[in-house]
Structure 1
C-alpha cells in the first residue's frame, strides 16, 4: 500500500510566484494548498494540517513573520520554510529567530535547491519526532519501573539491547562504563566486555574531553546533556562524528547516566555536499557576471578598433599619394630624412608599419569576436559543437598568456572531426581552464604544451588532449583533482573550483574528463565528448 502524498501549504500574495512554486511542487509529487495571505494560510493549516509550510515574509493582512511566530507557538512540530527577495538576509535571520526551519530566496532560480531544502527540513522533522517519541518511551519506562521494578528492568533491557542507537550506562561521577548495548560495540569496534570498566571520555578526541566531562558532571534531575557533533575514534583509529544525548536515570537504588550515541558522520558529509552545491551555484553566478562584463568590455574595445582600422587605410592612401612628392624632394636634397630614417629606408619601413597596424587591428577584432562568443550564454538544449573551432577560440583568448609563459606551444588539429554534443562556449570554458592550469605547471619557458584533437574511434565523437611538460602530480593529488575546493595553489589565489566545475560541465554533456600524470614528467588532461545526435537520425558520422 503506497503512502499518501505529502501535503505542502504555499502562502504568498504574489499569485504568479505562488502558482509557479505550487506547480513545481506538484510535479515533484506533492499535494499543494495555496493561500494569498497569512490569515487565509492559517485557516487552511488548521483545517488540513499540512506536512510543510512555505510562506513569503512580506504580505498584506498578516505578514509571514506573524505566521512563523503563531505556528512556532501553536504547532511547533510543523516545519516552516520562509521566502523573501535576494539580499534580504536581515529578514531571513529574523524569521529563523522566530522559529522558521529554513529559508530560500526569491525568485527561485534553482529547482534543485527546493528539493534539497524540503528533504533537509523533513529529515529534521523526522528526527524531532523520533526524539520526542524516544523521550516519551523512556519516560514511560521510568514510570513502569516505579510500579514494578522487575518487569520494568526486563523491558528496559529489551529496549537497551535492540535499539539501533548506541546506548552506554555510566557510573557517576567517575563516568566508568557499567553496561553497553550491541550497537555501542558496533559503533566503536570493541567487544562489549572490552568496553566495560573503560571511562566514556576516552572514546572521544582529547580536545572534546574537558567540555564533555564538565557537561556530564552537571546533570541533575530532569536536565540532559546534548552535543550534535563530537569527534571520536573507533578501535581501528577511524575518525567518527558522533551525536550524544545523556541524562540521569535511576535503576534500582543507583543513579546512572544514560548516554545515547548516534553516528553522525554520514549526515555531516551530506551537509558538506549541500554546502559545496550552494558554493558552486554562487560561483556559477559569478561566472555569469564575468561573462556579462567581458561582453561589455569587448563592445567598448570594438569601437576604437574600428576607428584604428578605418584611419589606417586612409593614412596608407595619404602616404602612397605623398610618396612621389617626397621622393622628388629627396632627389634634390641629399641626406633627406623622415623620423630620423634616411629616405631610402622609409618606404619599406613605412609599409611594414602600416601592415603591422592592419594586422594588429584584425587581431584585436578576432580576439573581441572570440570574447563576445565566449561570453554569450548557451541555449536550453545540447547543440552541435565544432571541436577544432572550440580549441582555436580558447587558444586565441589565451594567446597573450601563452606567449608570456612558454616558447613551445603546439596546436595539432585533426581534420574532418564529427560534431560533438555540447555548447561551444562551455567547452571553451573547460579548455581555457585546462590550458591555464597547464601553463601554470610549467617551470620555465623551455618547457612546452601540446593541444591536440582526434576522432574517438572507440566511443564515437571526439577527444581533446592538453599535454604539458610541467612538474606533474602525485597519485594522491591526481585522485582529488575534481574535488570542490581542492587546490595546490590556495596561497596564490586558487579557489579549487575550476576543475570541479569543468568536470561537472563535461558530465552534463555526457562526456568525461580524465588525467594522467607523474611527478616530474608532466600531465595529460583528456576530454571525451560524445557525438552529436540528431533526433530521428542518430549520431552524425
Structure 2
C-alpha cells in the first residue's frame, strides 16, 4: 500500500477524515472529495490508483460515480461503502462496475486495508494479463505477416507457449505440428496427435461446430469459443477455450488453434459466487438474529407472566381441592357442567398443561436465541454433540411433527466432546434434518439421528438416516456442488449442503452421503474427538 494514491468520496467529513488518517498511516497518499461530482473532477485530474466512495451523497451519488468510472476508467478499482442494512445497494453498485464493497460503520479498519489490497492485486493481475494478451496477439499477428522471413522465431514461440497449440490443415483437420503444452494437456505423444488429428481431442458433439467454424475463416478472422468439451487420452473430459485463425506456414494455409484449460477459471468463478452468496447468507443470519432477539423479548414477557401465575394458580388449586371435593359430596354443586370431584381433577390437569406449554415456549425461544447468537468461541469452543442434537430437535419440533410419526434419537453413553463452533455444527445438523424430513413421502416413514464414538479412528460420528425417496448416483455426486439443488422450484438455493460441507471441513472432519433410489439416504458427519 506504500505510495498508493487513494481518492475518498464521502459527504461526511468525520468519515472522510477517519478513513484518510488510517490510510495515510499505512503509507497511502489520500485525496478527498465531499460529493460525487467533485470526486470525478479530482479523479480525472490526478488519476488515483484506488477510489473509495460512499453511495448516498448529494449532487452526484456513489452509483453515478461507479457508472462513470466503469465506463471511462474500468481499470481503476472502485470500492463502495454501504450501510450494514443496505446490502442490496452494494450489490447493485457491483453490477454497475464496483470491484468490492465494505459496510459501515467499520468495526475494524483492517477490513478496509484487506479489501483495498485485494482489489489492487486484482487490478495488477488484470493489467498484466491484458498486457500479456495484447503483446501475444500482436506478436502472433506480426509473425503471421512476416512468416516467410522469420519462420524460425515464430517456431520458437510456438513450441514454448504455455497454451496448447495445434497447427491443423485440410478439411479433416489433420494435425501438422503441436507444441509440448498440447501433449501435456491431452496426454498424447506427438505421433499420436498427428495420427489422430484434431478429432482425437475434441468431444464428438463439439466437433461439427469447431470444424465448421475453422473452415469458414478468412484472412484476419478469428474463431473463438470460451468453453467447449475436450477429451484426454484416459477418457477424461476437459473444459477448454479454443481460438483459431488462418496462417501461412511453410507456404501452406493452415489453422492455428490455441487451447487453454478453463477448469481453474471455472472453479475460481464458482468459488467467487459461493463466497458472495455466503456473504449474503451471513447478512441474512445477522438480520435474523436481530429479529429473533426482538421476538424472544416480546414472547418471553407474557410467557413469564403465564408461567409464574400458572404456578401460583396450581398452588391455590391444590389447596382448594379438598374443600371442593367435600362441598361437592354434600351439596351436589357443579363447575362447568362437571361434578366438583371431576372438576377438581380436570382443573389440576388443565393448570399442569398450561405450565408445560409455558415451559415449552421458553425452551423453543431459548433454542432460537442460542442458534442466532454469534458464537464468541469461534472454532476453539467445546462442542457437546448431545446438546447439538437436543437443540436442533427443539428448533425443528414443528417440522418434525408435521412430517413424520417416527423420529428417533440414539446417542452412545461414551460420547466425547468435539473442538469447534457448537453453533456451526448445529447449523449443519439442522440442514441435514430439514433435507431428511423433506425427502419423506408420507408420515409413516421416519428419520433417525444417531451419535457414536469411533474409538480406533478417534472420531465422533453424527448420522442422519431417513426413509425417504433416495437419490440416483448422478445426483449424489453433485450434492455439495455450489448452487445444485433438486428443489429449486420450491425455493432451494443449492447452498445448504455446500456451506455445511465447508463448515465440517473447517472443523477437520468429513461429510459423506450414502443413498439409493427408494431406500432413503444416510448423511454421516465425522469430527475429530476431543482428547481427554
Give the TM-score, by structure 1 length: 0.74
Task: Name the residue aligned to 1:463.
Answer: 460
* Matches of 2:383 and 2:124, distance apart in 1: 42
SS of aligned partner of 1:496: coil
Distance 1:216 1:121 in 2: 38
Q: Does 1:512 align with 2:509?
A: yes
Q: Distance in 2 between matches of 1:294 and 1:61?
A: 39
In structure 2, relative to structure 1, the CA distance for the partners of 1:175 and 1:131 (3 Å cut) is farther
Specify the alignment match of 1:127 in structure 2. Answer: 129
Counterpart position of 2:278: 280
- 1:374 is the counterpart of 2:365: no
What is the correspondence of 1:46-445 to structure 2 with a 5 Å cutoff? 53-56=50-53, 79-85=76-82, 86=87, 87-88=89-90, 91-94=93-96, 96=97, 103-107=99-103, 117=119, 120-142=122-144, 144-145=146-147, 149=148, 151-169=149-167, 176-177=173-174, 179-182=176-179, 183-184=181-182, 186-188=184-186, 191=190, 195=194, 203=202, 206=205, 213=212, 217=216, 219-221=218-220, 224-234=222-232, 237-250=235-248, 256-313=254-311, 315-316=313-314, 319=317, 327=325, 330-331=328-329, 333-334=331-332, 336-379=333-376, 381=378, 382-404=380-402, 405-412=404-411, 414=413, 420-441=418-439
Q: Provide the residue aligned with 2:13 in structure 1.
A: none
Q: Distance in 1 between matches of 2:447 and 2:198?
A: 60
The offset of 1:272, in angstroms, is 1.8
Q: Distance in 1 between matches of 2:310 and 2:353?
A: 10
State whether residues 509 and 527 of structure 2, in contact with CA within 8 Å, keep that contact through their aligned partners in structure 1. Answer: yes
Q: CA deviation at 1:358?
A: 1.2
CA distance, structure 1, for counterparts of residue 91 and residue 440 of structure 2: 44
CA RMSD of aligned residues (A): 4.5
Q: Which runs of 5+ in 1 are unaligned?
A: 47-51, 97-101, 532-538
The alpha-carbon deviation at position 279 of structure 1 amounts to 1.9
Partner Cα separation in structure 2 for residue 91 and residue 487 of structure 1: 28
Distance 1:263 1:317, change over 3 A: closer
8 Å CA contact 1:185, 1:192 repeated in 2: no
Distance (Å, rounded) in 2 between the aligned partners of 1:84 and 1:209: 49
Residue 271 of structure 1, CA deviation: 1.7
Asked if 2 retains the 8 angstrom alpha-carbon contact of 1:514 and 1:527, the reply is yes
Q: Tell me the matched-pair count.
A: 500
Could you tell me which of 451, 467, 481 is aligned with 1:483?
481
Preserved CA contact (<8 Å) 2:223 2:243:
yes
Q: Distance in 1 between matches of 2:287 and 2:69?
A: 40
Gaps (5+ residues) in structure 2?
10-15, 34-38
Q: What corresponds to 1:535 in structure 2?
A: none
Instruction: Evaluate the alpha carbon distance shift between residue 251 and residue 395 of structure 1 in structure 2; reply closer, same or farther with a 3 A threshold.
Output: closer
Q: CA deviation at 1:449?
A: 4.9
Query: Take 2:323 and 2:58, find their aligned partners in 1: how far apart are those partners?
Result: 84
Task: Specify the SS of the correspondent of 2:99.
Answer: strand
For residues 81-113 of structure 1, the C-alpha deviation after alignment (integer angstroms, 9 at most, x for no partner) is 44353415554455x3xxxxx611232887887
1:344-371 Cα distance to aligned partner (Å, 9 max, x none): 3221121111111112112211222222
Contact persistence 2:165–2:257 (CA under 8 A): yes
1:12 partner SS:
strand
CA gap of 1:133–1:483, structure 2 versus 1, over 3 A, is same
The CA deviation at 1:459 is: 6.9
